[in-house]
Structure 1
Amino acid sequence: MSPGADHFARTSASSGTTEELRRSNLARILTLIHRGGALSRAELTRLTGLNRSTIGGLVAELRELGLAFETMPGSGEGNRAGRPSPVVHPSQSVVAIAVNPEVDAIHIGLVALGGRVLKRIRLETEAAPTSREVVEMTRAAIAGLVAGSEQELTIVGIGLAVPGLVRRSDGQVRIADHLDWIDEPLTEMMSAATGHRSVAANAAQLGMRAESLFGAGRGVDDLVYLIGGASGIGGGVVMGGHLLTGADGYAAEFGHTFVTSNGADCTCGSQGCLEAEVTQSELLDAVGLSTAQAELLAGLLEASDDPAVAALVARDVALVRVAVRNAVNLFNPRLIIVGGFLTALFPTGDGLAAEALTTPREELTVALAELGADQLLIGAGELVFSQLLLDPASSMGVELPLVAM
Structure 2
Amino acid sequence: MSERATTVEGVRRTNLGEVLRLVHHGGPRSRAVITAETGLNRSTVSDLVARLAAAGLVREHDPDPTRRVGRPSPIVAPSPDVVAIGVNPEIDAIEIGAVSLGGAVRLRERVPASTPDVAEVVEVVARVVAAWRADALKDCRIVGAGVAVPGLVRAEDGLVRFAPHLDWHDADIAGPLAEALGLAVVVGNDASYGARAERLFGAAREHGDVVYLNGGASGIGGGLVLHGQLIGGEGGYAGGWGQTAASLTDAADRRVDGGVLEDEVNRARLVRAAGLTAPDDAELERALTASDDARVEAARQRRILAATLGNAVNVLNPSIIVLGGFLGSLREIDREGFDDEVRARALAASAERLELASAALGADRLLIGAADAALQRLLSDPLG
User: How far has the Cα of 1:388 moved from its partner?
Assistant: 1.2
Among 32, 35, 49, the alignment partner of 2:39 is 49
Is residue 2:72 matched to residue 1:98?
no
Equivalents in 2 of 1:362, 1:52: separation in Å?
Answer: 43
Measure how far apart 1:264 and its partner are. Answer: 6.0
Structure 2 SS opposite 1:352:
helix
Q: Equivalences for 1:231-242 in 2 at 5 Å? A: 231-242=218-229
Of residues 384, 389, 392, the one that matches 2:374 is: 384
8 Å CA contact retained: 1:264, 1:271: no
Report SS of the residue matched to 1:392.
coil
2:294 maps to 309
Instruction: Note the 1:221-370 alignment, pairs <5 A.
Output: 221-259=208-246, 271-304=258-291, 306=292, 308-347=293-332, 348=335, 349-350=338-339, 351-370=341-360
Partner amino acid for 2:70?
A
Q: Secondary structure at the match of 1:289?
A: coil
Amino acid at match of 2:11: L
Give per-residue Cα distances to partners, 1:275-330, cap 9 Å, x unaligned.
111211211221122333431223332343x2x33332222112212321221121
In 1, the alpha carbon distance for the partners of 2:201 and 2:175 equals 29
Are 1:79 and 2:90 an aligned pair?
Answer: no
Per mean C-alpha deviation after superposition, the further-off stretch among 67-76 and 247-256 is: 67-76
- Residue 191 of structure 1 contacts residue 197 of structure 1 at CA under 8 Å; is this kept in 2? yes
Q: Check conservation: 1:40, 1:87, Cα contact below 8 A.
A: yes
2-side partners of 1:335 and 1:94: how far apart?
31
Secondary structure, aligned partner of 2:287: helix
SS of 1:221's equivalent in the other structure is: coil
Q: Which amino acid aligns with 2:362?
A: G
Query: Could you list the runs of 5+ residues in structure 1 that have no partner in the other structure?
Result: 1-15, 395-405
Matched-pair contact (CA < 8 Å) for 1:230–1:291: no
**Pair 1:161 & 2:148 matched:** yes
Tell me which amino acid in the other structure corresponds to 2:26. G
Answer yes or no: is the 8 Å Cα contact 2:311–2:345 preserved in 1.
no
Q: Which runs of 5+ in 2 are unaligned?
A: 1-5
Contact 1:254 / 1:323 at 8 angstroms: preserved in 2?
A: no
Which residue in 1 is equivalent to 2:199? Answer: 212
Residue correspondences, number? 370
Deviations 1:356-404 (CA, angstroms, capped at 9, x unpaired):
222211111111110000100000011011221111111xxxxxxxxxx
- Whole-angstrom distance in 2 between the partners of 1:65 and 1:149: 21
> What is the CA deviation profile of residues 192-214 of structure 1, one whole-angstrom value per residue up to 9, with x for unaligned ones?
22211000000000001000000
The answer as to whether partners of 1:321 and 1:354 remain within 8 angstroms in 2 is: no
Deviation per residue, 1:103-153 (Å, 9 max, x gap): 01000000000001000000001x200011101111111012233255421
CA separation of 1:360 and 1:386: change in aligned 2, threshold 3 A: same
Taking every aligned residue pair, what percent have the same amino acid on both sides?
A: 46
String of CA shifts for 1:65-113, please: whole Å, max 9, x gaps. 111111112322x12223x211111011111011000001000000000
CA RMSD in angstroms comes to 1.8
Structure 2 counterpart of 1:102, which letter? E
Match of 2:3? none
Amino acid at match of 1:242: Q
**Which stretch of structure 1 is more off in the superposition, 344-353 or 278-287?**
344-353
1:260–1:272: 8 Å Cα contact kept in structure 2? no
- The equivalent position to 1:180 in structure 2, one of 154, 167, 184, is 167
Q: Partners in 2 of 1:113 and 1:364 — Cα distance?
A: 31
1:23 aligns with 2:23: no
